[in-house]
Amino acid sequence: MDISSIDPVILIASLMVSSTSILLAATGELIVEKSGVLNLGVEGMMIIGAICGFIICVEFKSPFLGLIGSALGGALLSMIFAAVTQFLRANQVASGLALTLFGLGLASLLGHSYTGIKPPYLPKPNIPLLSDIPIVGKMLFQHDVVVYFSIVSVVAAWFLFQKTKLGLIVKAVGENQESAHALGYNVIRTRVIAILVGGSFAGLAGGYLSLVRVPQWTEGMTAGAGWIALALVVFSGWKPLRLIIGAYIFGGFTILQLNLQAIGIELSVALLSMTPYIVTIIALVLISSGKGRVGTSTPGSLGKVFMKVR
């Protein structure tokens, strides 16, 4: 029972890997929510990504093609959501839940003959010099490409919303759809694109699970990760860079909890498992109470149906 036997270097390295999937999905969902759309179908898009990526990886024997396939799979599924909510103006909450149901079912149909297959490994890049740095090298520079991609995409999302006109348009559409429309931005088109981007991220998140994390296909393998990604977006207060912190805290909780158990420290697993959610609620209260909604990043039109009024 020696806490010092938990090596923080290894701990951080493994929580980076285990958080990558939810970080990717959350980045996608953040972009979607920024545009004012709440897509609760993350779990469904993830699992479709997991199976599409797996099928393509196995058929073409290429993990890279597999990862691309997983993103395409997620995007394809999100098109249904886009069509139903943006063109046919159905309720987003209900449509998102339906998307999860549909995605879970479709994934297991597609994956029927792919159980019990081991896909080819995704080779890890060898980063010269950096990976040889003591401590930091092992902690940060010996991962697979998707881990780096997830961090890069968070930074890219931050850049998009902070520094680019496109980001401003997306935010404007999400913040106040009527004004954005009045300013001449195409609300529907912006949202459809955001939904597709979100879908491809969720798909990639699923592909990372089935191709890299636990290289295998088993039905229901996302096991609720999509819902955690939704929580993560809230936790971050819709600020991209905070997603990284949030994802590593969420992932870190699980990893630390398992490590503590492994060295024989007694703890209440149930209590620990619910902590991230309680922390999220507290974070949410702090965000919303401090300055009121103004000044925070909660998109003003989140979940609202846009209707053109002429």
Residues 267-296 that bind another protein (CB under 8 A): 268-271, 273-274, 277-278, 280-281, 284-285, 287-289, 292-293
- Strand ranges for 215-274 from DSSP E: none
Q: Of the ranges 61-69, 80-88, 193-201, 240-248, which one interacts with another protein (CB under 8 A)?
A: 80-88
Residue 252 amino acid letter: G
CA 24 to chain CA centroid, nearest Å = 4
Phi, psi of 119 (to 5 degrees): -80, 160
What does the alpha-carbon distance between residue 98 and residue 46 come to, in Å, rounded to a whole number?
A: 14
Q: Which of 28, 69, 74, 111 lies at the binding interface for another protein (CB under 8 A)?
A: 111
The answer to the question of residue 218 lying near another protein (CB under 8 A) is yes
Question: Does residue 178 belong to the site contacting another protein (CB under 8 A)?
Answer: no
For residue 258, state whether it binds another protein (rule: CB under 8 A). yes
Q: Please answer whether residues 142 and 133 qualify as being in contact, where contact means their C-beta atoms are separated by less than 8 angstroms.
A: no
Which is closer to another protein, CB of 113 or CB of 129? 113
Minimum CB separation of residue 159 from another protein in Å reads 26
**Cβ of residue 117: shortest distance to another protein, in angstroms?**
7
Site string for another protein, 221-240 (x = CB under 8 A): xxxxx-x--xx--x------
Under rule CB under 8 A, residue 135 binds another protein: no
Regarding 91 and contact with another protein (CB under 8 A), the answer is: yes
Q: Are 240 and 30 in contact (CB under 8 A)?
A: yes
Which residue of 61, 79, 121, 152 would you call a contact of another protein, by CB under 8 A? 121
Kindly tell me which of 88 and 129 has the beta carbon lying closer to another protein. 88
Q: Could you say which of 23, 25, 45, 84 contacts another protein (CB under 8 A)?
A: 84
Contact status, residue 62 vs residue 219, Cβ threshold 8 Å: no
Residues 1-20, interacting with another protein (CB under 8 A): 1, 5-7, 10-11, 14, 17-18
164 or 288: CB nearest another protein: 288
By CB under 8 A, name the one of 189, 220, 241, 245 that touches another protein.
Answer: 220
Contact (Cβ atoms closer than 8 angstroms) between residue 212 and residue 150 = no
Tokens linked to 234: 């809230």
Amino acid at 254: T
**CA 166 to CA 184: how far, in whole Å?**
14
What is the distance between the alpha carbons of residues 274 and 251, in angstroms, rounded to a whole number? 13
The Cα–Cα gap between 13 and 32 comes to 29
